[in-house]
Amino acid sequence: MAVTIPYFAALTTYFSYGLLFVFGHLRDFFRGFMKSESAPEGYAPLCRDFEDFYTRRLYHRIQDCFNRPIASAPNAWIDVIERYSNDNNKTLHRTGNSRHCLNLGSYNYLGFAAQDEYCTPRVVKSLDKFAISTCASRADGGTTSLHEELETLMADFIGKPAALVYGMGFATNSTTLPALMGKGGLIISDSLNHSSIVAGARGSGAKVSVFQHNIPEHLEEVLRQAIADGQPRTHRPWKKIMVIVEGIYSMEGELCRLREIVAVTKKYKAYLYLDEAHSIGAIGKSGKGVCELQGVDPADVDIMMGTFTKSFGSCGGYIAGSKELIQYLKHVSPGHLYATAMSPPAVQQVISALRLIRGEDGTDRGARKLAQVRENSNFFREELRKMGCEVLGDADSPVMPVMLYNPAKIPAFSRECFKRNVAVVTVAFPATPLLLSRARICISAAHTREDLQRGLEVISEVSDMVKLKYMPLEEEVEALLKEKRL
């Protein structure tokens, strides 16, 4: 999906970044005279100052908008700790107060992030039985009956023969990809994939190619070219080719075009790795993810990956695939052999959340939560569009980025919303392209209609102040047309 940006906003954004870079470089230039030599005599400097230029000169200016500490569970409302700075945001100190804010930033799609009447008692009971940590890796005595139960449940939920559970979502990608791919292999990943996939791909030693975001025609072109060329220099055929896509792209709120991509990978006999970090549990009629939503048979996707952080209110990740794949990974993946096992109460939280979603607790709360998050997302997105803000994302997706573009609007939007007790997450370069900085809003099933209305009021007020309404309303366009004709 292409983003439509007003040309004037593009020009002013480049100009603002240019100005910021010029001032940054000037400051660095003068700093060269003032600072003392940091490395001891004869040693090379530990870091290059150009490498953290972006962090020092751009990120530190607006540091108070990121990494805000919280003082409560990230439910629909959250307590955010206030901070102040005496040296222009280089260091931040807590004031000791906290603000009770509407939480539009947490990945709490089904509302499991706070106390739940079904999940929490069971988690506390498992804490009594299993304690906080297994104090071992999975291979060395860290596998409890809870882990096995979760793996069976997860595999059954997704529709794959077997699953493997890891303690950390990022580590799932960054340790599994090096175990599966090696030198002589080719990884073709979507250009907007998450940094965990990029880290895993780089660490694997395989050649990495990129195809244009969510465009299966370009994927086919890249695949054809790669298969025809073979490995670089020797031109031998590739050992294996893997295509990596995500279910929902968290920065765009956009769904993957899975059907077409599966068709392409089947045609050219490439493996498909689907990262469902944001879509599992939140999308699809019964929460089974993007495969269910788009009617794709899970057997067509070779490796399905996901995390428990978003919809299940826990931590960790999983890989699901054939029995042989999981057996192989158990022997080879460093995340399984050497990393600490997932904490047992966290496992119990996922098990309980999963049972709730499937309706196995005897109520229909799961189905209601799924319907609620869908309804809330569609309502919020429609209202934002009607307001005139530029919102990305497909229908049914609970993630909706609101485009900001100019670098100055990032702290303006964030701080003004915070003053009005709404906590939003803003994202800028380098997590997003330079031009396309955005405020990413995540809707939860725990938000009530009143919460959403309050959020919309605040966003409307702040957008007027910060001039974020890039897409004028139908009525305004008609009025303008009438003026032109008269």
Partner 1 sequence: MAEGVIQRAGSSRRELDGGVPVVGNLYVKVVPPPDLNKNTEWFLYPGVWTTYLLIIVIGWLLILSVFRCSAGTAWTVVNLTHFAVTYRFFHWKKGSPFAEDQGMYNKLTWWEQVDHGRQLTRNRKFLTVVPVVLYLIASHTTDYRSPVLLLNTIAVFVLLIAKFPHMHKVRIFGINSDYPT
Q: Which residues bind partner 1 (CB under 8 A)?
A: 2-8, 10-11, 13-15, 18, 44-45, 47-48, 50-55, 191-192, 195, 198, 208, 210-213, 218, 385, 429-430, 433-436, 471-472, 474, 477, 480-481, 484
Cβ 195 to partner 1, closest distance in Å?
A: 7
Q: Whole-number minimum distance, CB 276 to partner 1, in Å?
A: 21
Which residues, other chains included, contact 52 with Cβ-Cβ below 8 Å and sequence gap of 6+? none
- Angstrom CA distances, 467 to 30, 105, 339, 462, stand at 35, 21, 48, 8
Nearest distance from residue 129's CB to partner 1, in Å?
Answer: 41
Our CB check for partner 1 shows the closer of 53 and 379 to be: 53
Nearest approach in angstroms of CB 394 to partner 1 is 14
Measured N-to-C along each axis, helices 344-358 and 119-130 cross at an angle, to the nearest 10 degrees, of 150
> What residue type is 56 in one-letter code?
R
Cβ 52 to partner 1, closest distance in Å? Answer: 6
| Pick 211 or 271: Cβ nearer partner 1 | 211
Of residues 48 and 93, the one with the C-beta less far from partner 1: 48
Q: What distance in Å separates the CA atoms of residue 411 and residue 414, rounded to the nearest whole number?
A: 5
* Residue among 6 and 69 whose Cβ is closer to partner 1: 6
Tell the smallest beta-carbon distance from residue 162 to partner 1 (Å).
Answer: 33
Q: Which is nearer to partner 1, 124 or 480 (CB)?
A: 480
Please state, in angstroms and rounded to a whole number, the distance separating the CA atoms of residues 183 and 169: 24
Using the structure block, give the residue that is written with the tokens 């695939």: 321
Query: Facing residues of 318 across strands?
Result: 165, 306
| CB nearer to partner 1: pick between 113 and 399 | 399
CA distance 91 to 95: 13
Cβ-count burial 289-309 (b if 16+ within 10 Å, e if not): bbbbbbebebebbbbbbbbbb
Preceding omega of 430 cis (within 30 degrees of 0): yes
We find the least distance from the C-beta atom of residue 222 to partner 1, in angstroms, to be: 8
Structure tokens at 369: 């939560």
Q: Which is nearer to partner 1, 182 or 430 (CB)?
A: 430
Structure-token pair, residue 267: 């045609």
| Rounded Cα distance, 170 and 200, in Å | 9
> CA nearest 294: which of 302, 303, 285, 305?
285
Measure Cα distances from 232 to 177, 202, 226 in Å. Answer: 21, 16, 9
Q: 158, 174 in Cβ contact below 8 A?
A: no
> Shortest approach of partner 1 to residue 202 CB, angstroms?
8
Which of helix, strand or coil describes residue 150? helix
Nearer to partner 1, 116 or 275 (CB): 275
Least distance between partner 1 and beta carbon 474 (Å)? 6
Nearer to partner 1 by C-beta: 423 or 471? 471
